[in-house]
Structures are given as structure tokens and as C-alpha cells.
Homo-oligomer: A and B are copies of this chain.
Amino acid sequence: MIRVNVLYANKPGATFDIDYYLAKHMPMLRERMGAALKGMTVDHGLSGGQLGIEAAYRVITALMFDSVDAFERAFTPFAGEIQGDIPRFTNITPTVQISDVKI
């Protein structure tokens, strides 16, 4: 099992429309990925490790797939549509990585 981690780092002037993300972007992504998508999490940053400190990331999302190959086969046909939707909810360029699920 792999996770595709998508991280939207906080920075001065960063905007992020969490309502659009949850109501439009993630449902669209779920629909396009179909059965290849085995699970997802969306974390909305509240604070640093202690309250009162600003969160380093506005949003941290993870998408689970059986394998890198399964992710690439599901994502590639819709990459343009999914990435093209990003400016509708944020001006942050996300960091994306593929991770091996250890726990």
C-alpha cells in the first residue's frame, strides 16, 4: 500500500478555500480515481505543535493506493483536470510525494 501525500505549506499571503476543497475538489478527485483510491484523509491545520503557534501547513492530504503503478494508472488520465482545479481553491503550489505505508 502507498500513500500519495499532498502538502499545502502555509506562507504569508497564502489563500486556501477549504469549503471548495471539501465540497468540490476532493469529491471530483474521488470520482475520477474510482476503485483505485483505497482511502483518503484531509487534515486542516489548526496550529503548530502547541496552540498559539501558526501551523506550518494549511492542509495535509493523503490518498491511498495499492501500488505506485495503480496510482499512476488512475491519476495520469485526469492529471490535467485535477491539477487545473487547484487555482480555484489556493495560490499555494503543493508538495507531492509518494510514500510507503509502514503503519
Contact = CB atoms under 8 A, between A and B. Distances in A.
Q: Name the prevailing secondary structure of the A interface residues.
A: strand
Q: How many copies does the complex hold?
A: 2
Which residue of A55, A56, A62, A102 has the most chain B CB atoms within 10 A of its CB atom? A102
B102 A44 contact: yes
Contacts of A47: 97-98
Range for the number of chain A residues in contact with chain B? 20 to 34
Contacts of A100: 43-46
B102 A22 contact: yes
B46 A98 contact: yes
Given A2-B46, A4-B49, A46-B68, 4 more contacts: A18-B102, A45-B100, A49-B96, A57-B97
